[in-house]
């Protein structure tokens, strides 16, 4: 049993940031939680689904729907949680703007997990600006304990204001672990009922909608003022340092820990104070202004955009402070980089420059340490796992587009298969943007024949991405007679984020039976020509794809959908199983000789293979090989042989 549900108040446990958020939500007595998987947010819904039978947990089809599902619970008087990574907030933004205006009833918290440094994302987007844009209050936990406490309090705040509350976390908090002292788990009253027959403007009993916009917007503004007032007293805003510091650091989120650690490490605790803000929108005026009055130098430490920096400057400009006596350091002064995540080194560099410290921005250890002048260490490019169906799929897509020889290209999408842009995916992807955008771009490219474009267009998307946001562009393409081939890389789960189920699978979020939605039948019903192949069967896959791409007269043009179905090698059902015993016959392997030039290791490059340069032969890495046997089909010499396991 998990301490998340069992732990008693006062106990201390080592918890991941995301687990602390889960505990906070449980302590707030939530009834409904919905989200869409995305690093670094996934563990929240995943954990809730695993540990609690009292609440309804859902992996929704996308973030907008997740927000709507959570909002419905709130409308019915229950506390609810919506969870997503930052790009998901973009997806949910349309509904969010209306929800912010209409207001909510039961406490409702949106956890948005940002990924500064794009550690597992393909952008470095910021959720905090949404708080301002949507005009809703925002909290930013700065450590593990706060992650629990703030989450719990956010529901109370939401109910006080009748507004959704944004809780912004980052990878370095969500995926890090630290000690959390637990609070009390309530026994909530979970009676859902949607009242709608009160007065139009009654937040608790009337219908819930945005009109009349003028009045609602005014009331929204009043609520924000109320929030700012509450934030003035909030214990989540703290100050540590001398009464009149030479330099005041204003920081938030995990950057607080970097700042405090570096201040201690550099021995400048008597010169530098740290104002940590936990309630970052609307910015509470008093705690900030009173601190600004005690110093002449201010450094902002935050990621990724200068959000607090701007807000504080606006606040200062409207205050009685003598601005000429204040110097602001931060992203605008370039003391803190505009892009990338924060770390102790960046804070060290900024402090060293501003305080003119002798050690300078370089740590004294590194100057004489020989480790800093090593010859280059080969980088470890990420790639598809041994036995990954995507490697085989991209091998075939690439082969077919080259054979077709009209400079066809592939529009990428979001999932493990985004790595199709890397050498391990044969550089197959030529565009890569948001969820579902591969299909949308392909729909557009497919209409450019009118302007002389005769390059074949392929789009890829995963099974989960298909439901998330590839269906509308597919409908668009079919209706508008666009022409492209959509390859659905169906590996039976949301693999990149840890095999969360999606609507195509016969199980729901909690693993109970659920009606699966058949991707191929959906596509056919839309009007696409569809086929399904096993990507491990390179020959059949390539034949079908070639037919779709430079097809025979009868199926020329239009939208074709090829479903390449093969479960992920790491999926629970496949892990630790091997279809084949794979071995290399050294007598047949010709290594680098003409006729092969080791296509298995040089091109196909599965990590389950080893290139033995000394003997000019390939071998199998017994520890890593997943036994899919695809390399045997790639080998032109029949040197790689696969034997079915009995």
Partner 1 sequence: MIALNHDPYNLIITGVGGQGNVISSRMIGNMLSARGFQVTIGETFGASQRGGAVMSHVRISSTTTLSPQIPEHQAHMVVSLEPMETLRVLESYGNPDVGVICNTRPTHPIGVISGRLSYPSMEEMEKTITRLSARSWFFDATAMATKIGDPIFANIIMAGALAGTGELPLDRNVFEETLKSKFPPNKVALNLEAYDKGYGMINRD
Partner 2 sequence: MQILGPTELSHRILNGDLCTSCGACADLCPYLKSHGVKIANVFACDRETGRCYAACPKTGVDETLLSETLFALPWKDAPLGHYRRLYMAKQGPKTPKGNYQNGGTVSSLVIAALEQGVIDKAVLTGSDGIMPRPRMVTTAGQVLECATSKYIAAPTMARLNRAATEGDRNLGMVGTPCQMTGLASLRTNPLARSDFEDPMGMVIGIFCTWALSAQGLFSYLERQEIDPLAVRSMDIPPPPAENALIALEEEVKELPLDDIRKLVLPGCSVCPDMTALWTDLSVGALEENPEWNTLIVRTERGEALVDRAVETGLLEIQPISQTSVDNLTLAAANKRKRALAARERLGMLDPAFQKPVEVQPKQTIMGFK
Q: Interface with partner 2 by CB under 8 A: which residues?
A: 117-122, 379, 381-383, 398-399, 402-405, 419, 421-423, 426-427, 546, 550, 553, 592-597, 599, 602-603, 634, 636
316: tokens are 């200062």
Q: Decide: 399 and 407 in contact? Cβ < 8 Å.
A: no
Which does residue 145 bind out of partner 1, partner 2, none, counting CB within 5 to 8 angstroms by kind? partner 1
Shortest distance, CB of residue 130 to partner 1, whole angstroms?
22
Q: How many CB atoms lie within 10 A of CB 199?
A: 10
User: For residue 459, which of 476, 473, 479, 475 has the smallest C-alpha distance?
Assistant: 473
Given a contact cutoff of 8 angstroms between Cβ atoms, the answer to whether 173 and 17 are in contact is yes
Of residues 300 through 339, those in contact with partner 1 by CB under 8 A are none
Q: Would you say 14 or 593 has its CB closer to partner 2?
A: 593
How far does the chain reach from its first CA to its final CA, in angstroms?
Answer: 38
With CB cut-offs between 5 and 8 Å by kind, which of partner 1, partner 2, none does residue 322 bind?
A: none
Residue 605 makes contact with partner 1 by CB under 8 A: yes
Q: Which stretch binds partner 1 (CB under 8 A): 100-108, 131-139, 277-285, 608-616?
A: 608-616
424 binds partner 1 per the rule CB under 8 A: yes
127/138 Cα distance (integer angstroms)? 10
Interface positions, 490-519, toward partner 1 (CB under 8 A): 496-497
Number of residues in contact with partner 1 under rule CB under 8 A = 65
Q: Are 492 and 455 in contact (CB under 8 A)?
A: no
By the rule CB under 8 A, 363 interacts with partner 1: yes
Rounded to whole angstroms, the Cα distance separating 161 from 612 reads: 66
| Residue window 128-167: x/- pattern of binding to partner 1, with contact defined by CB under 8 A | ---------------xxx----------------------
CB of 482 to partner 2, least distance (A): 23
Determine the Cα–Cα distance for residues 308 and 510; give it in Å rounded to an integer: 39
Binder of partner 1 out of 188, 344, 527, 551 (CB under 8 A):
344
CA torsion sign for 224, 229, 230, 235 is positive
Residue 194 as a binder of partner 1 (CB under 8 A): the answer is no
d(CA 406, CA 116): 39
Residues 478 and 560: their CA atoms lie apart, in Å, by 9
| Lookup result for tokens 């934030």 | 231
Residue/partner pairs of 419-422 with CB below 8 Å, 24 or more apart: 419/382, 419/383, 419/384, 419/390, 420/390, 420/394, 420/460, 422/381, 422/382, 422/383
* Backbone φ and ψ of 378, nearest 5°: -50, 130
CB 36 within 8 A of CB 84: yes
Q: Is 205 exposed, middle or buried (0-12, 13-18, 19+ CB in 10 A)?
A: exposed
Are 271 and 357 in contact, with CB atoms under 8 Å apart? no
From the CB of 573, what's the least distance to partner 1, in Å?
A: 18
User: Is residue 12 close enough to count as binding partner 1 by CB under 8 A?
Assistant: yes
Cβ distance to partner 1 smaller for residue 189 or 614: 614
Question: Binds 553, which of partner 1, partner 2, none (CB < 5 to 8 A, cut-off by type)?
Answer: partner 2
54 binds partner 1 (CB under 8 A): no
Q: Answer for the pair 470, 436: CB distance below 8 angstroms, yes or no.
A: yes
Question: Interface with partner 1 includes 11 (CB under 8 A)?
Answer: no
Taking CB under 8 A as the rule, does residue 423 contact partner 1?
Answer: yes
Closest to 301 measured CA to CA, from 244, 257, 363, 362:
257
For partner 2, which is the closer residue by CB, 214 or 378? 378
Which one, 162 or 464, has the nearer CB to partner 1? 464
Q: Is 574 in the site for partner 1 (CB under 8 A)?
A: no
Exactly one of 29, 40, 306, 446 binds partner 1 (CB under 8 A); that residue is 40
225 binds, among partner 2, partner 1, none (CB under 5 to 8 A by kind): none
* CB of residue 597 to partner 2, shortest distance in Å: 5
Smallest separation, CB 426 to partner 2 (Å): 7
Q: In sequence order, what are the residues at sequence separation of 6 or more whose Cβ sits closer than 8 angstroms to the Cβ of residue 358? A: none
Q: Which stretch binds partner 1 (CB under 8 A): 57-65, 519-527, 548-556, 601-609?
A: 601-609
* 610 in contact with partner 1 (CB under 8 A): yes
Q: In the block, which residue shows the tokens 């605008």?
A: 332
With contacts defined by CB under 8 A, name the span among 175-183, 403-411, 467-475, 516-524 that binds partner 1.
Answer: 175-183
Is 603 an interacting residue with respect to partner 1 (CB under 8 A)? yes
Residues 400-419 that bind partner 1 (CB under 8 A): 416, 419
Q: SS3 of 76, please?
A: coil
Judged by DSSP in three states, 315 sits in: helix
| Smaller CB separation from partner 2, 133 or 382 | 382
Shortest distance in whole angstroms from residue 563 CB to partner 2: 23
Kindly give, in sequence order, each residue whose CB lies less than 8 Å from that of residue 42, ignoring residues fewer than 6 positions away.
35, 497, 498, 500
In eight-state DSSP terms, residue 14 is: E
Cβ atoms of 298 and 292 within 8 Å: the answer is yes
- Asked if residues 137 and 163 have their Cβ atoms less than 8 Å apart, the reply is yes
Pick from partner 2, partner 1, none: which does 593 bind, CB < 5 to 8 A by kind?
partner 2
* Binder of residue 41, out of partner 2, partner 1, none (CB less than 5 to 8 A by kind): none
Rounded-to-integer distance, Cα 360 and Cα 355, Å: 10
343 binds, among partner 2, partner 1, none (CB under 5 to 8 A by kind): partner 1
Shortest reach from residue 606's CB to partner 1, in Å? 8
646 contributes a contact to partner 1 by CB under 8 A: no
How many of the other CB atoms lie within 10 Å of CB of 554? 6
User: Coil, helix or strand for 124?
Assistant: coil
Chosen residue from 31, 39, 492, 509 binding partner 1 by CB under 8 A: 39
Sheet strand arrangement including 327-329: 238-240, 272-277, 247-252, 297-301, 327-329
C-beta of 280 vs 497, nearer to partner 2: 497
Q: Is 229 in the site for partner 1 (CB under 8 A)?
A: no
How far apart are the C-alpha atoms of 175 and 85, rounded to whole Å? 13
Find out whether 421 and 412 touch, Cβ atoms under 8 Å: yes
Is 594 a binder of partner 1 (CB under 8 A)? no
R_g over Cα of the chain: 28
Per CB under 8 A, the segment of 189-197, 283-291, 375-383, 520-528 that binds partner 1 is 375-383
For the CB of residue 22, give the shortest distance to partner 2 in the complex, in Å.
Answer: 26
179 binds partner 1 (CB under 8 A): yes
* 40 binding partner (options partner 1, partner 2, none; Cβ < 5 to 8 Å by kind): partner 1
Contacts with partner 1, residue ranges (CB under 8 A): 12-14, 39-40, 119-120, 143-145, 171-173, 175-179, 254, 257-258, 261-262, 265, 343-345, 348, 363, 365-366, 369-372, 374, 377-385, 416, 419, 423-424, 496-497, 598, 601-603, 605-607, 609-611, 613, 621, 623-624
């Amino acid at each position: 049993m998990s301490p998340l549900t069992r732990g008693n108040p006062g106990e201390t446990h080592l918890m991941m940031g995301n687990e602390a958020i889960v505990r906070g939500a449980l302590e707030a007595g939530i009834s409904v939680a919905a989200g869409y998987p995305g690093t670094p947010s996934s563990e929240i819904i995943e954990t809730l689904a695993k540990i609690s039978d009292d609440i309804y947990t859902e992996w929704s089809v996308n973030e907008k729907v997740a927000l709507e599902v959570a909002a419905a619970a709130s409308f019915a008087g229950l506390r609810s949680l919506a969870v997503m990574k930052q790009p998901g907030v973009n997806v949910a933004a349309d509904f969010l703007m209306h929800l912010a205006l209409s207001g909510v009833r039961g406490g409702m918290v949106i956890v948005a997990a940002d990924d500064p440094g794009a550690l597992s994302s393909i952008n470095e987007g910021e959720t905090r600006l949404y708080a301002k844009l949507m005009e809703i209050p925002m909290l930013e936990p700065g450590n593990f304990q706060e992650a629990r406490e703030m989450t719990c309090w956010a529901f109370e705040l939401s109910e006080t204001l009748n507004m959704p509350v944004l809780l912004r976390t980052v990878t370095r908090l969500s995926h890090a672990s630290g000690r959390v002292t637990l609070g009390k788990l309530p026994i909530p009253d979970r009676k859902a009922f949607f009242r709608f027959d009160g007065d139009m403007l009654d937040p608790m009993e009337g219908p819930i909608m945005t009109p009349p916009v003028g009045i609602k917007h005014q009331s929204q503004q009043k609520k924000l003022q109320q929030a700012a007032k509450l934030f003035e007293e909030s214990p989540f805003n703290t100050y540590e340092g001398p009464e009149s510091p030479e330099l005041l650091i204003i920081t938030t989120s995990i950057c607080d820990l970097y700042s405090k650690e570096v201040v201690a490490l550099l021995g400048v605790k008597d010169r530098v104070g740290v104002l940590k803000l936990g309630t970052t929108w609307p910015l509470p005026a008093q705690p900030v202004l009173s601190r600004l009055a005690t110093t002449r130098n201010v450094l902002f430490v935050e990621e990724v955009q200068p959000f607090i920096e701007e807000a504080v400057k606006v606040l200062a400009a409207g205050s009685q402070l003598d601005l000429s006596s204040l110097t602001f350091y931060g992203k605008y002064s370039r003391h803190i980089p505009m892009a990338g995540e924060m770390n102790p080194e960046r804070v060290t560099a900024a402090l060293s420059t501003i305080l003119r410290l002798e050690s300078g921005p370089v740590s004294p250890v590194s100057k004489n340490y020989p480790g800093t002048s090593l010859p280059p260490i080969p980088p470890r490019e990420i790639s598809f796992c041994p036995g990954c169906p995507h490697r085989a799929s991209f091998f075939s897509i690439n082969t077919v587009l080259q054979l077709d020889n009209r400079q066809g290209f592939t529009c990428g999408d979001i999932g493990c298969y985004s790595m199709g842009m890397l050498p391990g995916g044969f550089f197959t992807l030529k565009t890569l943007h948001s969820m579902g955008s591969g299909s949308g771009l392909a729909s557009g490219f497919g209409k450019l024949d009118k302007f002389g474009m005769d390059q074949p267009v392929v789009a890829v998307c995963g099974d989960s991405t298909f439901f998330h946001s590839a269906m509308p562009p597919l409908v668009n393409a079919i209706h508008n007679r666009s022409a492209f081939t959509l390859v659905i890389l169906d590996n039976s789960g949301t693999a990149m984020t840890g095999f969360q189920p999606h609507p195509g699978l016969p199980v729901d979020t909690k693993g109970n039976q659920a009606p699966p939605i058949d991707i191929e039948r959906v596509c056919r019903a839309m009007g696409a020509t569809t086929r399904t192949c096993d990507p491990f069967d390179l020959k059949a896959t390539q034949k079908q794809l070639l037919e779709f791409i430079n097809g025979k007269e009868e199926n020329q043009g239009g939208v074709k959908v090829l479903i390449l179905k093969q479960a992920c090698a790491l999926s629970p059902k496949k892990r630790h199983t091997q279809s084949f015993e794979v071995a290399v016959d050294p007598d047949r392997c010709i290594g680098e000789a003409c006729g092969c030039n080791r296509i298995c290791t040089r091109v196909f490059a599965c990590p389950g293979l080893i290139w033995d340069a000394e003997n000019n032969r390939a071998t199998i890495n017994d520890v890593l090989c997943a036994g899919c046997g695809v390399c045997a089909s790639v080998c032109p010499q029949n040197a790689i042989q696969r034997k079915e396991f009995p």
